Amino acid sequence: MTRTLVFTDMDGTLLDHHTYSFEAAKPALTALESRDIPVIPTTSKTFAELQPLREQIGLNGPFIIENGAAIFIPHGFFKKKPSGTVWVDGYWCKSFISNKNYWIKLLDKIKADFEGEFKQFSQMSLEEIQSSTGLDEASAALAAKRQFGEPVLWTGSDENKQKFIAAVKERGAYPLEGGRFIHVSGNCDKGQALKWLAAEYQRQHECHVKTVALGDGKNDIAMLEAAHIAIRILSPVNPPPSVKKDEVYTSTLHGPEGWNEMLTQLLSL
């Protein structure tokens, strides 16, 4: 028996890049639910940000936060305790990297070399977070509650941006460029998290698992490459990410419209 798991980026993929609406994806979401196919948010968002979103969309399974830093699995999703997890805020949590403070200290060491060229998320006001993300005040407050990595809003030149990325790499970080921010964190990515959860699902259910991944940005590449089926969702602001895989599907529509388009096609195969 084969079970399917759908791993999805949120901003610009399941959620509209400009409005954060998921309305257009509802038909595919309903179809997936009727077939008992879990939809697993796999996002740069925080634990706090995902809670109201999961409720609004009607997703009650596992979720992956902060670009693969940790997986949270609701009690009862698996019959047995997932391996290597600890109990955190009502979920089984599997974390892959050090907490936020570790990365803040690392950035402190190179700050003088890039004076005035970047803003750290943890030091931005709510107004600054709002203006750089387009989030409303309540959502911006949730975005600020990071547990693992530290996003950096780059304001300097492209040339110095590459020097900055090299500098944090030299100190052991694994920077990831998202749609708006450079995420400074450890050796984690959405692909590693996908593989871990798929393997745990296979172990617990004693079945074969087929993984489908949908994303629109550079920080989705590892997830798309790790999945059995990779789907790039067209973005109104960025070109499709370059994915090293023999077969990659690309939507013709943007965001949730493209999400609905591709999963509707996939489910009808």
* N-to-C CA span, the chain: 17
**H/E run at residue 251:** strand 248-254
The secondary structure of residue 111, as a DSSP letter, is: G
| The CA-based dihedral angle spanning residues 210, 215, 219, 225, taken in that order and rounded to the nearest 10 degrees | 30
Query: Six-digit token pair at 144?
Result: 């600020």
Please list the residues that pair with 169 across neighbouring strands: none
What CA–CA distance (Å, rounded) separates 233 from 223?
Answer: 13
- Residue 9 among the catalytic residues: yes
**H/E run at residue 210:** strand 208-215
The distance from CA 108 to its chain's CA centroid, rounded to whole angstroms, is 26
Phi then psi dihedrals of residue 113, to 5 deg = -75, -20
What is the widest separation between alpha-carbon atoms in the chain?
Answer: 57
Phi then psi dihedrals of residue 237, to 5 deg = -120, -20
**H/E run at residue 86:** strand 86-88
Closest-CA residue to 195 (of 2, 3, 5): 5
Question: Which residues are designated catalytic?
Answer: 9
